[in-house]
Chain A
Amino acid sequence: MISLASIAQSFLSGLAEGVDYSLYCLGLAFVFGIMRIINLAHGEFLVLGGYVAYWLLVIWGVNPILAMPVAAATAGGTAFLSYRIFLQRIRTTSDLNTLILTFGLSVFLANLFIECWTADIRNIGVDWLEHPVALYGIYMSVGEIFTLVISLVAVFSLHFFLTRSKTGLAIRVTAIDRDAAGLAGINVNRVDLMAFSIGGVLAGLSGPLLGMVSHISPGAGLAVTIKAFILTVLAGVGSLLGLVVAGMILGVGEALTVTFTNASYRELFGFTLFLMILLIRPRGLFGKGL
């Protein structure tokens, strides 16, 4: 029989995983919400960050937590370049074009990873981070606790950045009405560039965490992008906090589905939820309108 302790542990593990999901998703949701661009290369930016952290660990023994800024910067830089060189030119053409472009970018990057770093699976394992911490019979690893905290900090930081800082404000205004923003003296093109780069930074930040909690490989980007999609739609556009809550719902739902039924229905839960939300409440659980 399923013990109460197991249910509680399952619940907690799902909660933690859900918060992680929301962090992985943050970059995609941000770029989609602000720029209406679906960045199919989002997963690859994340994986790039993961690789950076991995090599820093393996070659110089740098702790992945410390490596996060470097990973974020690398991914952000890649995003910056991608936008500046390619995306910017086709901004005014149809939405489909940006989609295909980011798709081409993702194919390019994923295969680049294979060429540079082989198709091997990489684990970011630091012993003390994997050490379990027990509380009333419920276990969590140190690394998981860190990830949880970092995810929440990241989300709140972004929230404050967007609502309190001048740049953040500029970004939000541009998102609402580009022409008005331009008239108000905001350099719309620069705002776009910055927003996309921030999306890359957010993705890169989560890479090391993914490597710690799970693993990194050249093909890992696709699954991340799809999960991020689902969560973006689930949560709806416009609320970062909603993203975290939606992530939690997804994570807990998946975990409890496994506990009470069968492991093979795990993914089905997520997608069924996704479809139901789209059909019943398209603006998402916490969205602020299309």
Chain B
Amino acid sequence: MGIVLAIPFMLSFDPYYISIFIPAIILGAVSIAWNLLAGICGQVSFGHAAFFGIGAYASAILVMKADWSPYFAILAAGLCGALSSLIIGLPAFRLRGAYFALLILGFAEVMKLLAMNLTWLTEGSQGIFNIPSLPPIQLGGLNLEFFISRTTNYYVASFLMFVIYLAVYFLRWSNTGLAMAAVHGNEDTAAGIGVPVVRTKAIALAVSALCTSMMGAFYAHYIRFLSPDSAFDAYWSVMPIVGSLFGGMTTIIGPMAGALVITSVDEFLFKRLFETGHKMFFGLLLVLVIVWAPSGLLGNRIRKTAHGAEE
């Protein structure tokens, strides 16, 4: 975490680098949230973009149509995300493995389509322009403003990520966390020893969605423009998975580290070397890393037993 705080200093507050790292931090936070559900509780989701987008739109709508302050809107957006996750999640928990993942994917697509069609609420495909950014904070004599790429945005994002990290940390080491690990190992056994499986999964999902939605809301006030395509972009479903895998799904900090590394490598290494076609090497790198380091940089080996269960 210290590294994260130090980065702006290292790079002397250069706004270009800030503008690269803010999305990286957003991704890092979402990756941690995703990993709570997937790495710790064992439920893989392919559709976290759903919660990201719901959070983004909820916050934008609350601020622009109901005149809320963005700070409260971000929190409320998080709750919206958590609520929607339960609406889809509770029935979804009956499914296992890949089917659960696909269901959330379908949910993300449906949300995107709803955003496109409910034009009275979301302005449809045209998108919402000119979303207000976070209003300035008065701290003693200091006036902190939030223009694009100002370092203040960076710190708010980092703050949110830190909060999420703490939340996941405490959750993991609590009794519920223990329950999650049990559910991850083997659901039926967990149920057998008295773990409230559905409730545990629900908590994991709701917290994961809440965090993701909050980051989505932050994104809305940072980029200040939303469209169904950008808010529900598959990027937010896929990259947390990539980041988590890269960094190791068995730790809490792993996903964040993974997200930061892949963002940096793509931007600073590949793009510098190849003006066009840099994504090609990104894909290739991904393939190579998976083949030669399947458990990620910081994780432990995950092997499949003969019966397909993971240990």
- A contact set with B: CB distance below 8 Å: 36, 38, 86, 89-90, 92-97, 99-101, 103-112, 114-115, 179, 222, 226, 229-230, 233, 264-265, 267-268, 271-272, 274-275, 278-279, 282, 290
Q: List 30 A-B contacts (CB under 8 A).
A: A36-B98, A38-B98, A90-B291, A92-B303, A94-B304, A96-B38, A96-B44, A97-B290, A101-B291, A104-B283, A104-B284, A107-B283, A108-B286, A109-B283, A111-B279, A115-B280, A179-B306, A222-B234, A233-B99, A264-B117, A265-B117, A267-B109, A271-B109, A271-B110, A272-B110, A275-B106, A275-B110, A278-B103, A282-B94, A290-B99
Structural contact, B294 and A111, CB atoms closer than 8 A: no
Q: CA separation between A285 and B103, bound complex, in Å? A: 16
Chain A proximity of B106: nearest CB distance (Å):
5
Which residues of the other chain, B, contact A278 by a CB distance below 8 angstroms?
A: 92, 95, 99, 102-103, 106
Per-position 1/0 for B187-213, Cβ under 8 A of A: 000000000000000000000000000
Mostly, the A contact residues are: helix
Which residues of the other chain, B, contact A105 by a CB distance below 8 angstroms?
A: 283, 287
Chain B proximity of A129: nearest CB distance (Å):
32
Structural contact, B294 and A268, CB atoms closer than 8 A: no
Of B91, B103, B290, B295, the contact of A101 (CB 8 Å cutoff): B290
Chain B proximity of A98: nearest CB distance (Å):
8
Per-position 1/0 for B281-301, Cβ under 8 A of A: 011111100110011000000
CB-nearest residue of chain A to B234: A222
CB-nearest residue of chain B to A280: B91
Which residues of the other chain, A, contact B148 by a CB distance below 8 angstroms?
A: none
Which residues of the other chain, A, contact B113 by a CB distance below 8 angstroms?
A: 267-268, 271
Chain B proximity of A120: nearest CB distance (Å):
14
Q: Is B36 an interface residue (CB 8 A)?
A: no
Q: Is B141 an interface residue (CB 8 A)?
A: no
**Which of A93, A112, A264 has the most CB atoms of chain B within a 10 A radius of its CB?**
A93
Of B91, B114, B117, B294, the contact of A90 (CB 8 Å cutoff): B294
Q: CA separation between A112 and B280, bound complex, in Å? A: 6
Q: CA separation between A11 and B253, bound complex, in Å? A: 53
Mostly, the B contact residues are: helix
User: CB within 8 Å of A: which of B113-149?
Assistant: 113-114, 116-117
Chain B proximity of A88: nearest CB distance (Å):
9
9 nearest A-B residue pairs (beta carbon): A104-B286, A108-B283, A107-B283, A111-B280, A104-B287, A111-B279, A93-B294, A101-B290, A115-B277
Which residues of the other chain, A, contact B310 by a CB distance below 8 angstroms?
A: 94
Of A103, A264, A282, the contact of B99 (CB 8 Å cutoff): A282
Chain B proximity of A284: nearest CB distance (Å):
10
Q: CA separation between A112 and B281, bound complex, in Å? A: 9
User: CB within 8 Å of A: which of B78-107?
Assistant: 91-92, 94-99, 102-103, 105-107
Structural contact, A93 and B287, CB atoms closer than 8 A: no
Which residues of the other chain, A, contact B94 by a CB distance below 8 angstroms?
A: 282
Contacts A278-B99, A278-B103: A107 and B291 contacting too (C-beta < 8 A)? no
Structural contact, A100 and B304, CB atoms closer than 8 A: no
Structural contact, B280 and A229, CB atoms closer than 8 A: no
Q: Is B265 an interface residue (CB 8 A)?
A: no
Q: Is B276 an interface residue (CB 8 A)?
A: yes
Other A-B contacts than A97-B245, A267-B113, 18 sampled, CB-CB below 8 A, are A86-B290, A90-B294, A93-B294, A94-B294, A100-B242, A106-B283, A107-B279, A107-B283, A108-B286, A110-B279, A115-B276, A229-B102, A229-B105, A264-B117, A268-B114, A268-B117, A275-B106, A278-B95
